Amino acid sequence: MPDVITVLLAIYLVIWSLIGLVLAIGALIIVWKIKRAITSTQKAVEPVLQEARSVMSEVTLTVRQVAERARHISEVAEQTVSRIAERVERTADLVQETISSPLISVGSALSGLRRGVEVWRERLQRRGRPSPPPPGAAPGG
């Protein structure tokens, strides 16, 4: 009888070994299929990745160029605004000197002349003489 137990135990071990072998083979097949799918996907994605890298390099270069140009334009604009402000200030000073000052002088002279005529008329009236017509009035009217 001990031979029967040994034989049954051996059969039991062989069956479980075969089950383990089938599971191991199944696992290997699954791993192999997954690896094949990953490799296939990688081959399909690689050209897209290369194109994306190329486009990204071009975009980076373009952004750098645009930033450089924008910085240059900003500097030129700042210089231009400064020059225009200086010219406006010089023009305002020139207008002040060449127009305003003489106008003030002429205005002051006219005011003084008007006051002089008023005083002269007042003196003539005090002496009893008729005063001459105001400037711009028609004579004899």
For the segment 47-100, what is each residue's pLDDT rounded down to a tens digit?
A: 999 999 999 999 999 999 999 999 999 999 999 999 999 999 998 888 777 877
Q: Are 131 and 124 in contact (CB under 8 A)?
A: yes
- pLDDT more than 70, % of the chain: 89
How crowded is residue 121: how many other Cβ atoms within 10 Å of its Cβ? 15
Dmax (CA) of the chain: 174
- Weakest mean pLDDT among 32-36, 64-68, 113-117: 113-117
Residue 34: predicted pLDDT: 95
For residue 122, the tally of other CB atoms under 10 A from its CB is: 11
Residue 35 has pLDDT above 90, yes or no: yes
- Nearest CA to 32 among 24, 76, 49, 89? 24
